[in-house]
Structure 1
Amino acid sequence: MEQDTSVEEQFAHTGRVGDRLRAAREKAGFDLEQVAAETRIPIRHLQSIEAGQFGALPSRTYAVGFSRTYARTVGLDEREIIDQVRAELAEGDLDPRTSPARFEPGDPARVPGRGLAWFAVLAGIILVAGIYAFYSTYFAPGLGPAPLRDPAEEKPATAAAAPAAAPAAAPTGGPVVFTNEMDGTWVRFYDGTGKTLFEGIMAKGDKFTIPADAANPQIRTGRPYAFTITVGGRAVPKLSEVDEVVSNVPVDAAALIARPVPSPSVSTTLSAPATPAPVATP
């Protein structure tokens, strides 16, 4: 008990977790968009942490984990921040306005309805029927009814070889358009001198066209896989397919066209060598 009192007094002198994280962020010169891009934490959760509203987060585990990552990004002591977050969460548990509602078995408003029970039974029947159909057709195909026609009477049809599709022509130039496919993607476009062409959070479906007069345009983002890229209306490979932060990557038409294109996999069938005919001995 005395140890908890000393910890609370220590945190009272240093301020709340949200105030300390906000002060460290402003001292480092970061805004919420940059912290969200570096930590992969949504901005609304960062705002809740700075406001001390841990109840707005999905769970206590998220509150501790997000606060630890936030502290690491702005240069604070992770262990000290974690201890203070747990202390503030314990204080919130004593407040009946922020405590979660308890489930009372006798409350008829919380008991599942009859319609939900019938739906569960119907779903179980459909699942069993699907498993039986899969077993009977995949593992035991001979148990089904006999075919109406004799397979021996059917003549094998000769399939004509379909002509190979001509490969799509590679783009030669034109406007470069970035289309975002995910919600809340932070990105910054700038030219070779460091001048910002665009910086901010793009929603799903937002597009940005690289200005034609931009000299050596480049990109920085934590979601390179979220953008589809077209040059002159033709798609080119993404900047990356993995979760990583890319920076100083040229995004002009010539650089994007020169990026390697993954080659399609080609399956090769090896024929068995012919067995030599036996030689007759006199």
Structure 2
Amino acid sequence: MDPQTDSQAADGGRVLIDHAHEGHFGARLRAAREARGYTIEACGQALRLPVRLIRQLEAGEYGGIDYQVYLSGYLTKYGRHVGVDEEAIQAELARLAPRQRQPDLVVTGGVSHSRYLLERYVTAATYVVLTAIIVVPMVWLGVRGTLDRDMPRLAPLDASPVAQQDAPATSSTSAAAVASATQPQAATPAETRPEDQQPVLASMAMFPPLDHSAARTPLATSAAAPAAAATGQGGHELTLNLPSASWVEVTDATGQRLEYGILPAGTQKSYHSDSTLDVRIGNAGGAQATLDGQAVQLDGFRRANVARFRVDIRDGKAAPVSY
């Protein structure tokens, strides 16, 4: 009778490990291999197992094999190869079954759903706030800098010196001057704010974002200068008649400016030249221009209340053209 069966009968059917017979099945494996004339190397090559592992199986040294499933596979495969009975193989596997180690249970703590949601949304909100703190100031600075640099400044076409030049023309008698002198307090507020009565139009030139009072200084200076009746020399004559204050720029072919500034209302001025002239007139709604005595239709050259044309001279004749 097999010792394994005796041990089970004596202990009420419990499976015990008989350390005294651990080498018994290994000896049967070795005897079966030698009976067939196999070498350990030939068996290892046929079964694709290491020679060291086959030696451990024949010696009954199972301690180097970590898991029971591997040990059962090795014993079954090697026993069938050398011709050991299937019953003997199963008996050895049953004897070794208690050697299998159950995996240890690991206790893990759970997280409540509310805490999970809180941590999730707090993290997302933190990223959103940090992104807003970094991006919003950069966008604001970029947009503000672009607007200050690119937007044209609005400047009145009339300045205080021009308004002061028109004031004597409106006075018809010396009695009105005496009356204004007797009431200095009433006249002072009207003179300190002449810009409130002037039309505000966009200048055709781009100005840097400087102080408005400093930017107006060149315009006021040019407007305060007395306008001459004629400017330049040449056989062709361009005459401008301005019923209202207008911003005027006249440039010759060399790039020299014959006129650049605000001319007061009622100005009539002529420009003489034998070469091309570039003309720009702001507030051109009522302005009139003649070229060598011929009227120039400014409506065809006007855009957004600004007339812009070029005096082109060909074959001794001057004619206005667009540019």
Which structure's residues are more often strand, by fraction? 2
Higher relative contact order (CA closer than 8 Å, sequence separation 6+): 1
Q: Same fold (TM over 0.5)?
A: no
Give the TM-score taking structure 2 as reference length. 0.27
Query: Bigger radius of gyration, 1 or 2?
Result: 2
